[in-house]
Amino acid sequence: MTATGALWRNWSRSQSIIPARVERPTSPEAVQRAVAAAARTGSRIKAVGAGHSFSGIALAPGVQLDLDWSGIRAVDEATGRVTLAAGTRLQALPALLRPYGLALQNMGDVDRQTIAGAISTGTHGTGDGFTGLAGQVVGVTLVTADGSLLSVSDTENAELLPAVRVSLGALGVLVDVTLQCVPAFLLHAEETAEPYEAVLESYLQRSSAVDHFEFFWFPHTDTVLTKSNTRLPINAGRAPLGRMRRLVDDELVANGLYRATCAAGRLLPALVPPVNRVADRLTGNRAYTDLSHRVFVTNRTVRFHEMEFALPRERVPQALREVRALIEKRRWRISFPIEVRSAAADDGWLSGAAGRATGYVAVHRYYRENPAEYFAGVEAIMRAHDGRPHWGKMHDLAADSLRGLYPHFDDFLAVRDRFDPERRFTNRYLERVLGR
């Protein structure tokens, strides 16, 4: 299906564009035809997913491809490998995998993205012993710039697997993704409010002491909300949050009340510190056991802008202290919490965790606030600590700076030259971060 372009905006309303044309292919063959047609007319072409990236990575100035198909394409029950159509939303995976007794090894706290968009931008999660989604990729099929299909896996074109795991959409259009899944499991979650400095001092030890550890710090407070998740067998017995507790904590407070306080803080910044202290007291101190995806994922309906950097894990505590000092020095009023997570090293050439144990620091601003000054100040701190930007989130780094952060940066560019020499899949964002 082809349509004239209309205004496209991402979820956070930080990016928008009117593509020249929109196509909604429903098969790999239709993608091939669309890419071949774009090549004949000299047009640029890009696939978009759910629009959950905060950066301009998905903007399509020429032909925009909305991949309008999803679901499981193949399952190898003996190995736990599952091939999914690229447009499959993460939120659909639990139901799709349930009949096979499988689950994703690790997930982020948002599940609205497509699987192709999530791996292309380096979406992760938390857990010292676990990689992000890209590390679970064991194969992909993509359409390259000449309209041909390319299969990459650990048995076919295996040398390209580190490049396609986090490809930024620069190598072609993903049409399917094969993930290494694991037997379904439960997570026992413990959420507690704890002193800020004590958590920073114990961050490295606690990250390795439990399966999945993360924490949130509301600026202008002295406590953080810690989340410690322990993996359990699927038959260990669920003890989920009651419907009323989940409604109050995760919907009325985390979304409804928070939306109102963010809006109020935008109009009266002086309200932000006391409101954050109230939010700090209303969160934390609960324990429950549930299916993994129900613990990993949080329903977030308050729109925001986000920037995130991946640091060598040992540098996270000092970087966060510097961010706090900067907020206090500049007297900024920051309503959204700062999120800290971790991940195991992986081999994706453009992965934030490429070759090193990693800690992630994410900062946010309410979507009706201008994040530029805050994000620029935090970015300077992250760069000083050898931080790598999350490709799907806001940052100002360009190719000259990024080359030194990724040992295989030029290897990736060589693969790009091979499969997209005319830059059919580029846009302004990719020109900035990868060069022309």
Residue spans per domain, the chain:
72-183, 185-389
The superfamily (CATH) of domain 185-389 is FAD-linked oxidases, C-terminal domain (3.40.462.10)
For residue range 20-46, list pLDDT tens digits in order. Answer: 999 999 999 999 999 999 999 999 999
Residue 434: pLDDT above 50? yes
Helix (H, G, I), strand (E, B) or coil at 119: helix
The chain-wide mean pLDDT, for the chain, equals 92
- Cα separations (Å) of 13 from 7, 54, 93, 254, 416? 11, 8, 26, 21, 29
pLDDT value at residue 164: 98
For residue range 138-193, list pLDDT tens digits in order. Answer: 999 999 999 999 999 999 999 999 999 999 999 999 999 999 999 999 999 999 99
- Asked whether 207 and 228 are in contact (CB, 8 A), the reply is no
pLDDT value at residue 427: 97
Higher pLDDT, 246 or 6: 6
Lowest mean per-residue pLDDT among 215-229, 232-246, 366-380: 232-246
Q: Measured in whole angstroms, how far is the alpha carbon of residue 327 from the centre of its chain?
A: 25
Give percent of the chain with pLDDT exceeding 90.
83
pLDDT value at residue 70: 94
pLDDT value at residue 266: 73
The CATH fold assigned to 72-183 is 3.30.465
pTM of the model: 0.93
For residue range 245-304, list pLDDT tens digits in order. Answer: 565 555 545 555 566 666 666 766 776 766 666 666 656 688 999 999 999 998 777 889
pLDDT value at residue 36: 95
Average pLDDT over residues 115-138: 95
pLDDT value at residue 151: 98
For residue range 304-336, list pLDDT tens digits in order. Answer: 999 999 999 999 999 999 999 999 999 999 988
Distant-in-sequence, close-in-space partners of 379: CB < 8 Å, separation ≥ 6: 307, 309, 389, 395, 396, 397
- Calpha distance 8→275 (Å, rounded): 34
pLDDT value at residue 1: 47
For residue range 41-70, list pLDDT tens digits in order. Answer: 999 999 999 999 999 999 999 999 998 789
